[in-house]
């Protein structure tokens, strides 16, 4: 019981520290001090600074669940399902936390490996194997998907580029779904109009 | 002559200030102090903090030139031309400045309007009118192009997502060019395989 309360206090301290000072501006020591515990205890509960960041940030877990939900769809509907599920999450009440986390990690060169681990190891975990087994080039296809999804997030939520920012989810799904679908299951050598 | 040297000194001070402390962490006053001039002089030469940031950052001008170069192509080659030109610039010697600028502006909510002005007003300036006149929905199409281009930049250069990070420019142009081409000139209601 006491251990759980301490863990929660550390997470709360870490969350405000990362939000206020960015990934680079936070040390495990400063989080320990803010939480009123010994630094060794933070390491014991949460491991490295990267692991503490991931634990403090709900976003990777939430985005992972969104993608897992979309993964229930058959292959030929995956593109639209991923785009729609992501857009719904980004427009939901988790939006503020997501935007703040995205700003934090994009601002930091040091955080780049964390982002890679999160995107490939948590959010898109099962996708490369599933797609690769059937269409080949699983890792390459999923990294192309990542370019479109990350760009959609940045342009719509971080930069607020109009008219994209105000476009309804349904419309964006119709427009961007086929891009993600092609990256996942299409001919990567180019779109060949069939006669 | 003296005025030009002063302007250059202000730009140099602004460049290091934005790189070190991010967009939000810099005031016109702090740049003036670092350059050893009066704050009013900075405003007189460069206008607002936004305008000073744009002047200090070479990136928008360079990216604008890249896009203008690609714009020489006929409509049906624009997608590949834009992707290839952007990738060449991002892999060139301007890469470090670009990445640092991108980190600075993406980290800051305050900088979002600056990014919008740069993307739409400088880099992609003539594209919406050209595309809109022939295919309709120019602003919407160009904002979709922006999602793919920004995501490509972030995933390849800021996050360094593999295998995307190491893929040759030619291969990426073949894979991503058709996406940008469809956003510019294609059927936005979905890709219709023709019989």
Answer whether residue B190 is part of any domain.
Answer: no
Tell me, yes or no, whether A37 and A102 share the same domain. Answer: no
The pLDDT value recorded for residue A194 is: 42
- Tell whether B19 lies on the interface with A, counting CB pairs under 8 A: no
Interface touch B154/A158, C-beta < 8 Å = no
Q: What is the pLDDT of residues A17-65, one digit of tens each?
A: 888 887 888 999 999 999 999 999 999 999 988 889 888 887 777 888 8
Query: Is the alpha carbon torsion for B83, B89, B95, B97 positive or negative?
Result: negative
Confidence of residue B190 (pLDDT cuts 50, 70, 90): low
Of B112, B155, B175, the CB nearest to A146: B155
Please say whether the beta carbons of A59 and A105 come within 8 A: no
Residues A70 and A158 in one domain: yes
**Do A49 and A87 share a structural domain?**
no
Interface confidence, given as ipTM, is: 0.85
A68, A51: one domain: no
* B128 & B139 share domain: yes
**pLDDT of amino acid A1:** 61
pLDDT above 90 for B41: yes
Please indicate, yes or no, if residue A102 is contained in any of the structural domains: yes
Q: Which two tokens stand for residue A63?
A: 């985005």
pLDDT the model gives residue B85: 93
| pLDDT over 80 (residue B188) | yes
Report the pLDDT value the prediction gives residue B102, as an integer from 0 to 100.
Answer: 84
Q: Where are the alpha helices (DSSP H) in B36-137?
A: 39-46, 49-56, 59-70, 78-90, 95-106, 112-116, 127-135
Check CB contact under 8 Å for B176 and A144.
yes
Which one has a higher pLDDT value, A110 or A126? A126
pLDDT at B153 over 70: yes
Q: Which residue segment(s) compose the domain that A38 sits in?
A: 2-56
Closest CA of chain A from B20, distance in Å = 12
CA gap A17, B83 in Å, rounded:
38
User: Does residue A168 belong to the interface with chain B, where contact is any CB pair within 8 Å?
Assistant: no
CATH code of A13's domain: 1.10.10.60
Sort out which chain B residues have CB atoms less than 8 A from A83's CB and list them: none
| Interface test with chain B among A100, A101, A114, A155, by most B beta carbons within 10 Å | A155
Does B102 lie in the same domain as B78? yes
Contact predicate A59/A119, CB 8 Å: no
| Cβ–Cβ contact A97 with B under 8 A | no
Phi-psi region of A187 (alpha: psi -120 to 50; beta: other; left: phi over 0): beta
Q: Does A95 touch chain B (CB under 8 A)?
A: no
pLDDT at B54 over 90: no
Contacts of B106 in chain A (CB under 8 A): 102-103, 106-107, 154, 158-159
A16 and A74 belong to one structural domain: no
Are B97 and B130 in a shared domain? Answer: yes
- Closest CB to B164: pick one of A115, A143, A177: A143
How many angstroms separate the CA atoms of A105 and A111, rounded? 5
Query: In the predicted model, what is the mean pLDDT of chain A?
Result: 88
* Residue-level pLDDT at A4: 85
Do the domain assignments include residue B195?
Answer: no
Domain contains A192: no
CA B172 to chain centre: 19
DSSP class of B117: I
What would the two tokens of residue B179 be? 């996406």
Asked if residue B134 belongs to a domain, the reply is: yes
Q: Residues of A with CB below 8 A from B178's CB?
A: 182, 190-191
Q: What is the pLDDT of residues A165-182, one digit of tens each?
A: 999 999 999 999 999 999
Tokens found for residue B94: 């301007």
Q: Does B177 touch chain A (CB under 8 A)?
A: yes
pLDDT band at B194 (very low <50, low <70, confident <90, very high): very low
Q: Considering only A182-186, B31-35, B116-120, which range has the smallest mean pLDDT?
A: B116-120
The answer on pLDDT for B131 being more than 70 is yes
Q: Do B183 and A175 touch (CB under 8 A)?
A: yes
Portion 46-85 of A in contact with B at CB < 8 A: none
Task: Give a yes or no: residue A193 inside a domain.
Answer: no
Residue ending a domain, choose from B56, B71, B102? B56
CA distance A13 to chain B (A): 21
Do residues B124 and B116 lie in contact, with contact meaning Cβ atoms separated by under 8 Å?
A: no
**A80-100: pLDDT as tens digits:** 999 999 999 898 877 887 888
Report the range of poorest mean pLDDT among A109-118, B20-29, B43-52.
A109-118
Domain-embedded: residue A190: no
d(CA A105, CA A158): 13
DSSP class of A118: I
- CB neighbour burial string for A70-80, b if at least 16 within 10 angstroms, e if fewer: bbeeeeeebbb
Whole-number Å distance between alpha carbons of A165 and A174: 15
Q: Over 90: is that where the pLDDT of B171 sits?
A: yes
B141 to chain A, any CB pair closer than 8 A? The answer is no
pLDDT at B192: 45
Backbone angles phi, psi at B22, to 5 degrees: 75, 170
Domain boundary residue among A56, A78, A101?
A: A56
Contacts of B143 in chain A (CB under 8 A): 155, 161-164
- Answer yes or no: is pLDDT of B193 > 50: no
Evaluate if residue A190 carries a pLDDT over 60: no
Quote the number of domains for chain B: 2
Q: Do B157 and B69 share a structural domain?
A: yes
CATH number at residue A133: 1.10.357.10
Residue B11 has pLDDT above 80, yes or no: yes
pLDDT at B58 over 60: yes
* DSSP output for B151-190: HHHIIIIIS--TTGGGS-HHHHHHHHHHHHHHHHHS-TT-
CB within 8 Å of A135: residues ≥ 6 apart: A141, A184, A185
Please state the rounded mean pLDDT for residues B29-54: 92
pLDDT computed for residue A71 by the predictor:
92
CA atoms within 13 A on the CB side of A3: 4
Residue B115 has pLDDT above 90, yes or no: no
Domain assignment of residue A179, yes or no: yes
- Give B39-46 contacts, CB < 8 A, sequence gap 24+: B41/B6, B41/B10, B42/B10, B45/B6, B45/B7, B45/B10, B46/B7, B46/B10, B46/B14
B83 and B142 in a common domain:
yes
The mean pLDDT of chain B is: 88
Nearest chain A Cα to B99, which residue? A109
Q: What is the pLDDT of residues B71-92, one digit of tens each?
A: 999 999 999 999 999 999 998 8
Same domain, B74 and B153: yes
């Amino acid at each position: 019981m006491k251990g759980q309360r301490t863990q929660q206090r550390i997470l709360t301290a870490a969350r405000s520290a990362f939000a206020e000072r960015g990934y680079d501006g936070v040390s495990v020591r400063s989080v320990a001090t803010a939480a009123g515990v010994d630094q060794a205890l933070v390491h014991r509960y949460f491991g490295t600074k990267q692991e503490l960041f991931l634990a403090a940030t709900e976003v990777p877990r939430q985005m992972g669940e969104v993608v897992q939900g979309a993964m229930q769809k058959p292959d030929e509907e995956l593109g639209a399902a991923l785009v729609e599920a992501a857009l719904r999450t980004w427009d939901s009440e988790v939006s503020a936390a997501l935007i703040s986390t995205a700003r934090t990690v994009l601002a930091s060169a040091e955080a780049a490996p964390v982002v890679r681990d999160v995107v490939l190891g948590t959010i898109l975990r099962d996708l490369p194997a599933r797609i690769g087994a059937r269409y080949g080039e699983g890792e390459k296809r999923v990294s192309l998907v990542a370019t479109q999804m990350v760009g959609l997030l940045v342009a719509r939520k971080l930069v607020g580029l109009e008219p994209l920012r105000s476009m309804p989810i349904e419309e964006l799904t119709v427009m961007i779904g086929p891009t993600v679908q092609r990256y996942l299951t299409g001919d990567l050598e180019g779109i060949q109009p069939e006669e």
